[in-house]
Structure 1
Amino acid sequence: MMRAKGKATFLDAMKETTSPVSPAAAKEALKEDEWEVRPGGMLVQKRDPDSDAPAGAPVPTVRLKVKFNGVSHEIYINSQASFGELKKMMSEKTGLHHEDQKVLYKGKEMDSKAFLDMSGVKDRSKLVLLEDPDAQAKRLIEQRRADKAHRASKSVSRISLDVDKLATKVSALEAIVRKGGKVVEADVVALTEALMTELVKLDAIAADGEVKAQRRLQVSTHARPN
Structure 2
Amino acid sequence: MMRRSVSDGGSSGGWGEEEGKGWEVRPGGLLVQKRGEDGGGDAAAAAPPPLAPPELRVRVLYGSAKYEVAVSSVATFGELKKLLMEKTGLQPADQRLTYKGKERGNTEYLDICGVKNRSKIVLVEDPTSLERRYIEMRRNARIQNVHRAISDISLEVDKLADQVTTIEKSISKGNKVAEVQITTLIELLMIQAVKLDSVPSEGETSLQKNLQAKRVQKCVETLDMLKISNARLKSVVVTTKWETFDPPTTAQWEFFD
Q: Same fold (TM over 0.5)?
A: yes
Corresponding residue for residue 215 of structure 1: 209
Q: After alignment, is 178-187 or 159-168 more displaced?
A: 178-187
Number of aligned positions between the proteins = 155
Aligned positions of 1:1-226 closer than 5 A: 62-64=56-58, 66=60, 75-79=67-71, 82-86=80-84, 89=87, 98=90, 101-104=95-98, 107-110=103-106, 120-122=109-111, 124=116, 127-224=121-218, 225-226=221-222
The structure with more helix, counted as a fraction of residues = 1
What's the Cα RMSD here?
A: 3.5
Distance 1:189 1:126, change over 3 A: same
Distance 1:82 1:199, change over 3 A: farther
Distance 1:74 1:198, change over 3 A: closer
Q: Deviations over 1:136-178 (max 9, x none)?
A: 0110110111111112112211210110110000111111111
In structure 1, what is the Cα distance between the partners aligned to 2:163 and 2:53?
A: 69
Structure 2 unaligned segments of length 5 or more: list them. 1-51, 73-78, 223-257
In structure 1, what is the Cα distance between the partners aligned to 2:139 and 2:62?
A: 30
* Sequence identity (%): 32
What secondary structure, in the 3-state scheme, does the structure 1 residue paired with 2:151 have? helix
What secondary structure, in the 3-state scheme, does the structure 1 residue paired with 2:201 have? coil
AA partner of residue 68 (structure 2): Y
**Superposed displacement of residue 85, structure 1:** 3.7
TM-score by length of 1: 0.56
- The structure number with the bigger radius of gyration is 2
In structure 2, what is the Cα distance between the partners aligned to 1:214 and 1:87?
A: 36
**Superposed displacement of residue 104, structure 1:** 4.7
AA partner of residue 135 (structure 2): I
AA partner of residue 139 (structure 1): R
AA partner of residue 84 (structure 2): L
Distance 1:109 1:200, change over 3 A: farther
Structure 1 unaligned segments of length 5 or more: list them. 1-57, 92-96, 111-117
Question: Quick one: higher RCO (CA 8 Å, sep 6+), 1 or 2?
Answer: 1
Q: Deviations over 1:116-141 (max 9, x none)?
A: xx963356266443442211011011
Distance 1:129 1:185, change over 3 A: same
